[in-house]
Structure 1
Amino acid sequence: YAIDNSTSTKYLNFGVNTGGITVYQPGINTGFYVSPVSSTASIAIGLLFGTANDVPDRDPITVTLEGTNVTSLAALYLGSSWTLIYSGPTGISAITDPGRQVYVSQQNFSNTLVFRSYRLLVTSQRGNTNCVQYSEAQIIGYL
C-alpha cells in the first residue's frame, strides 16, 4: 500500500518483464494514480516517501508527479492528459541507505495548478533489481 500512513506495509511493483529475458530495473516508469476523495480538486506542493522493509537497491530515487482534471477511468489509465507538476528526488539518497521503514526528508516544490487526480511514476531507483518498492508515497498539498 503506497498511501496508508504506515511504514510497515509496502508498495512493490515488478513492472513489465519480458518472458525469459532478464530486465534490470523493470520498476522504472511504474507507479500509481490516485483521486483524493476529500475534495473535487487540490494543489500538490510536496512528496513524502518512506522506505520499505528490505532490499535497499529497490528504493526509488527520482520520480515524476503529474496531475489531471479528467474524470474518466479510461483516460486516467491511458495517461494521455497528464500535466507534469514535479520531476526530481524522492528524498531517498542514491548513495547512503537511510534505513528501512523510515520516512525521509519531505520534498517540497512550487505549484499553483489545481488537479482532481495525480499520477506518481518512479524514474530511477538505487540498484539493478527486479522491482521497485517503498512503504509510503504521500502527496502533500491543500484543498
Structure 2
Amino acid sequence: MYQQSKHFDLIFISLVTYFGFSQTCLLFFAQLSQGQLRVVPTIANAKVYYFGNRSFSALKFFNRSNEAVYPIWNTIAGGNSSPTWTSEIEGIYNIADSPDVVFDNDLTTEYTNCGSCSSGSSSMLITCGENTGWYLSLGNRFFSLVAFYIGTNTKYPQRDPLTITIEGSNLQRDELIFGWSWTLIYNDSTGLVSNPGRSTFGVLQIIPQFPLPYANYRVLITSKRGIDTCTSYTEFMMIGY
C-alpha cells in the first residue's frame, strides 16, 4: 500500500510483513523520478520504523489551511521566543519571505531570516541566520510528527540549514513565548548535509522518539552550510498523524 502527495511526486509504502506478522510501518519514502520509483539495492542498509497499532490511513502529510505561523529569532531550544518583524535590520525579515511559505507546497517560495545580521549588511558570517525559525499553532487540532522533509532555497546553497531543533507544546498561545512551555523532540540534521541542489527536498528525517500529539511546534535553525547574511529554505513537510 502507498500514499502519494497531491502536491509533490512523493510516495511512501507503509505495509510490510515480517516474521509472520503484518505490521504497519513507514517502510520507504522517496521522490519519484519521472513517475518511476527507484528501488534501493538489496545491499543498501535499510531501516523499518514501527509505529505501534497505528493504521496506515492515519499516516498523512500535514497540509496547512489557516493555522498561524510566527517568525522568531534570537531563540534557542528551551529558551524564550523572540518575535521578528518585517524590515532589513537585525531580527527582522522581509515580508515577502515569511514563514507561512514553508507550508505552501511550493518549492519556489522561501522563508529567509537573517537573525543577528541584516539582509543589507556587507558582513556575512557563518552564524547569520542561526537561532531563527518559527512556531506553528494548530489551535484546537493536534498532530503527531513522525518524520519531515526540508526543501532547499532557490539560489544559495550556503544558506541551507544543516541542523535544527524541533519542540512541541500543548499550552495556550500566550504561553508559547516562554521556553518552559516547549518540549524538545528533535535536535539533529535537516537532511541537507549533502547538497541535493536547488528547490529540492533533502533526505527524510525521522523523529527518534515515539511521536506524541502536539498542538504547537517550534523549529529553530542551529547551523547553516556556509557564509552568508541569512538562512533560507522553501518547505518544511511534516509527516505524521
What is the CA distance between 1:34 and its match in structure 2?
0.3
1:107 counterpart = 2:214: no
Q: Distance in 2 between matches of 1:23 and 1:99?
A: 22
Q: Which residue is equivalent to 1:55? A: 156
Q: Which residue is equivalent to 1:17? A: 117
Q: Which residue is equivalent to 1:64? A: 165
The sequence identity of aligned pairs, in percent, is 37
Q: Which residue is equivalent to 1:26? A: 128
Residue type of the alignment partner of 1:102 = T
1:141 counterpart = 2:237: no
Superposed CA deviations along residues 31-89 of structure 1, whole A, max 9, x for unmatched, are 0000235x62221111111001011000000111100011123x223433110011111
When normalised by structure 2's length, the TM-score is 0.53
Q: Distance in 1 between matches of 2:185 and 2:130?
A: 18
Q: Which residue is equivalent to 1:127? A: 226
1:4 counterpart = 2:110: no
When normalised by structure 1's length, the TM-score is 0.86
Q: Distance in 1 between matches of 2:225 and 2:211?
A: 31
5+ residue gaps in structure 2? Answer: 1-100
Q: Distance in 2 between matches of 1:22 and 1:2?
A: 27
RMSD: 2.0
5+ residue gaps in structure 1? Answer: none
What is the CA distance between 1:21 and its match in structure 2?
9.5
Q: Distance in 2 between matches of 1:16 and 1:30?
A: 9
Secondary structure at the aligned position of 2:158 is classed as helix
Tell me how many residue pairs correspond in the alignment.
137
Specify the structure having the higher radius of gyration (Cα): 2
Q: Is residue 117–residue 129 contact of structure 2 (8 Å, CA) maintained in 1?
A: no
